[in-house]
Amino acid sequence: MGQDAQKQLLYSFTKLADVKEKGAVVIVKGKDCYVWDDQGKRYIDGFAGLQVVNIGHGRKEVADAVYKQMQELEYWHSFFGFTTAPTVQLVEKLATMTPGNLNVAHFVNSGSEGNDSAFKIARAYFKQTNKQGKYKIIYRNKAYHGMNMGAISANGFYGNRVPYEPLIPGFLRIPHNHCYRCPFDKTYPGCKIECAYALEQLILEEGPDSVAAFIADPVQGTIGGYIPAVKEYFPIIREICNKYEVLFICDEVITGFGRTGKMFGIEHFPGVIPDMMVVAKGLSSGYIPLGAVILTDEIAATLADSIFMHGYTYGGHPVATACALANIEILERENLTANAAEVGAYIAEGLQKLMDQFEFIGEVRASGMLYGLELVQDRQTKEPFPVTVATRAMDLAREKGLIIRMSTGGFANLICPPLTMTREIADEMLAILKDTYTDLAKEL
């Protein structure tokens, strides 16, 4: 396929010079956990596209739902009191799935738009309640919440922020909660979860009257590399947010729709209900782009008294919402959340065995079907390898027919397969990974 045309694309998170030298991989077909390139080579999709395709590739049922909706009504919007039938159905469905009174959804096209919308809603909410001074947004080191200006203002990795500075004012950072690399040099549980109480400390330093929201994902995403939180973390966060009237925005862009072995990642923390939940990716399994910010009845009621001055042309696109309904139908019917827990635990065992074989794997993190393998030069000192090593593993795996990636922060390999993965395909994936690390070990 057109080698020159391939060089005319400005690829994301890619050095264009590398594509010019090596060429691009052109993916032409997908079925369940596999994709094929234009040379006929088959890959196990160990990353569900970009942590998106929860139901697996090539589902005719979704294509049929999309086709049907396109024939009926190809486009309409959600401005000026308009909406469409599948959009209303999806709101109703999401309200039954999400915890607590998260019952009102605003549709967008991506996770970044969802988080940016949540920041705007948090600020608008406090203006509406006559607390104009509450505008600051707190996020965590190593956080990734997307790439638009709002989302990178809450990004915990310099490489994603610095090229685009100055960012949006009013965004503040607390330390991350990665126990393996504890920012306080402590050990759980003796640490008394200082990383969570860092939120309270910052709120007090800044003044509670100035803080609007705190954003976090239940398993921290692609920068640190799928870092789960200890069981006390989010209950403490919820308590602090309640105490200082700070809204808790839960970014479920990766963790939503079965990924962690529960429908939503925050459900691993019983009783913790966010004020806003942002979803995308697994909401439609990426068959059509779609995201949403889901609000509590209380926030929605507050916004109801004024015109909501926000929205995107394609927010609540009926083809996308019809697609999401078909996707959720499959997720529920095939009980893919349970599969993420069961086969997920089986894969985690396999990865643990790899850790026994390869000294350079310092930590295996597993949450449902999300895995981070921390690559270290020395298990004692935990000194990480430079980013080139995790990237090299990604390239070696790709050569061998497995798509995984490195964490943006550079120390880990990340795996996030479709939730349809069976033990048989998992064995195939683990065998390629073993092969990959065997080759990598020779180069270290």
Ligand X SMILES: Cc1ncc(COP(=O)(O)O)c(C=O)c1O
Should residue 111 be labelled a site residue for ligand X when binding is judged by CB under 6 A?
yes
Q: Which two tokens stand for residue 324?
A: 């999401």
Smallest gap, in angstroms, from Cβ of residue 109 to ligand X? 8
**Which one of 9-17, 105-113, 240-248, 361-369 is the stretch in contact with ligand X (CB under 6 A)?**
105-113
**C-beta closer to ligand X: residue 314 or 360:** 314
In this structure, which amino acid lies at residue 99?
P
Residues 234-253 that bind ligand X (CB under 6 A): 251, 253
One character per residue 310-349, x = contact with ligand X (rule: CB under 6 A): ----------------------------------------
Under rule CB under 6 A, residue 145 binds ligand X: yes
Q: Which residue is nearest to ligand X (CB)?
A: 111
Nearest to 221 by CA among 276, 139, 105: 139
Task: Find the binder of ligand X among 45, 200, 217, 374 (CB under 6 A).
Answer: 217
CB of 48 to ligand X, least distance (A): 11
Instruction: Confirm or reject binding of residue 146 to ligand X (CB under 6 A).
Output: yes
Q: Among 20, 48, 46, 141, which Cα is nearest to 396's?
A: 46
Q: Tell me the chain's radius of gyration from C-alpha atoms.
A: 22
| Sequence-ordered list of residues with C-beta below 8 angstroms from that of 248, at least 6 positions apart, any chain | 213, 214, 216, 237, 238, 241, 274, 275, 276
Angle, alpha carbons 114-410-265 (nearest 5°) = 40
Using the rule CB under 6 A, is 280 a contact of ligand X?
yes
Q: Which of these, 264, 287, 306, 284, lies nearest to 98 by C-alpha position?
A: 264
111 or 417: CB nearest ligand X: 111
Query: Is residue 110 within the footprint of ligand X (CB under 6 A)?
Result: yes
- Counting contacts by CB under 6 A, is residue 141 touching ligand X? no
Q: Which of helix, strand or coil describes residue 430? A: helix
For 245, other C-beta atoms within 10 Å of its C-beta total 15
Stretch of 19-27, 31-39, 143-151, 300-308 contacting ligand X, by CB under 6 A: 143-151
Q: Establish if 112 lies at the interface with ligand X (CB under 6 A).
A: yes
Of 23-31, 217-225, 236-244, 264-272: span binding ligand X (CB under 6 A) = 217-225
- Binding of ligand X at residue 254 (CB under 6 A)? yes
**Placement of tokens 């990795």 in the chain:** 157
Contacts of 239 (CB under 8 A, 6+ apart): none
Nearer to ligand X, 251 or 275 (CB): 251
Name the segment binding ligand X (CB under 6 A); options: 118-126, 144-152, 157-165, 407-415: 144-152
Q: How far is the CB of 316 from ligand X (least distance, A)?
A: 16
C-alpha span between 359 and 16 (Å, rounded): 34
Residue 234: both structure tokens together: 């989010």
Q: Is 293 in the site for ligand X (CB under 6 A)?
A: no
Binding flag, residue 285, ligand X (CB under 6 A): no
- What residues contact 211, with CB distance under 8 A and at least 6 apart? 134, 136, 138, 203, 244, 246
> Which residues of the chain form contacts with ligand X (CB under 6 A)?
110-112, 115, 144-146, 217, 221-222, 251, 253-254, 280
